[in-house]
Amino acid sequence: MDRTKIKDQFGQFGRRREYGADDDRTTSRQMKKSRRMCAAAAVLFAFAAAFALTTAVYRMDAKAQSDLQRRLSEEVLRFHVLANSDSREDQALKLKVRDKVLEFLEANMADEQHMTEDETVMWIREHIDEIEDVSRRCVAEENYDYPVTAAVTTCWFPDKTYGDVTFPAGNYEALRIEIGSAKGHNWWCVLYPSLCFRDAANAVVPNEGKEKLKHVLTEEEYSEITAGTEFKISWYFWKKK
């Protein structure tokens, strides 16, 4: 056989082997790429599923919180005192007004132990001028000439833990007292059921108070809003006279 032909045949055979090896390498790369794409797709699917589940749980929790807040807003009356400013003097004045108003309510609300939320609101509305006058006289006695307004109104409150009770954010009916420009940090408590205390740093809700709170809430609602931290509380309306 001609040497040239033999050489050509061997060359063609070698090239076929090279082409076959290239095909194998290409197939291997494609398989690896496919596996990587499948793995990436699986990870993305897992993230999407987790996100969807988290969103669903969040929406369910948000709805439950909204329902609880709406129910609470029908059963409680809050007390809101807004200071003129955040200066030390204005903040101290705010607390003095708070004390005077609470003392007035304690001394003048008749048979408060048996009053409903609606009856409490009605009593406050009927005596709102007197409450405003008590607040105004307190401001004047401290040598300030700030204007003072008092009203029963609907206010938005952020999430707030008060004693060992946490109220979700939302709109609540409240006795609202504004001192001066009312741009300072505010103080608040719950007039009905009575959860007003002065020293928030040393508070424990007594069993009597918890029992009264249970009377206006369902067992589930009470469980939702009560926390484990105990505080010492000063009661204004439910203590024995």
Q: Both 4 and 116 in a single domain? A: no
Q: Is residue 192 part of a domain?
A: yes
What is the per-residue pLDDT for 57?
37
Kindly state whether residues 47 and 91 are assigned to the same domain: no
Question: Does residue 32 lie in a domain region?
Answer: yes
In a domain, 237, yes or no: no
Residues 181 and 215 both lie in one domain: yes
Residue 236 lies in a domain: no
111 and 203 together in one domain: yes
Q: Do 93 and 202 belong together in one domain?
A: yes
pLDDT of residue 5: 53
29 and 108 assigned to the same domain: no
**Of 52, 73, 94, which residue is a domain's last?**
73
**Contact yes or no for 157/167 (Cβ under 8 A):** yes
The answer on 95 and 68 residing in a single domain is no
Are 7 and 23 in a shared domain? yes
100, 136: one domain: yes
Residue 228's pLDDT is 45
132 and 29 assigned to the same domain? no
- What is the number of domains present in the chain? 2
Map residue 147 onto helix, strand or coil.
coil
Per-residue pLDDT of the chain (241 residues; tens, 9 = 90+): 555 555 555 455 555 555 555 555 666 666 766 777 776 667 676 665 555 444 433 344 557 667 777 777 788 899 999 999 999 999 999 999 999 999 999 899 876 667 788 889 999 999 999 999 999 999 999 999 999 999 999 989 888 776 677 888 899 999 999 999 999 998 888 888 777 765 554 455 555 656 767 777 778 778 877 754 333 333 334 333 3
pLDDT of residue 159: 83
Provide the β-strand partners of residue 177.
81, 150
Judge if 1 and 28 occupy the same domain: yes
169 in the same domain as 214: yes
Range of the domain at 27: 1-73
* Last residue of one domain, picked from the residues 26, 53, 73: 73
Picking from 160, 159, 164, 155, the residue whose alpha carbon sits closest to that of residue 222 is 164
Beta pairing class for 186-192 and 77-82:
antiparallel
pTM (2 decimals)? 0.64
Identity of residue 170: G
- CA 178, CA 83: separation in Å to the nearest integer? 7
- The pLDDT score that the predictor gives to residue 48 is 58
Residue 99 domain-assigned (yes or no):
yes
Residue at which a domain ends, from 30, 57, 73: 73
pLDDT at residue 234 in the model: 36
Ramachandran region, residue 143 (left: φ > 0; alpha: ψ -120 to 50; beta: rest):
left
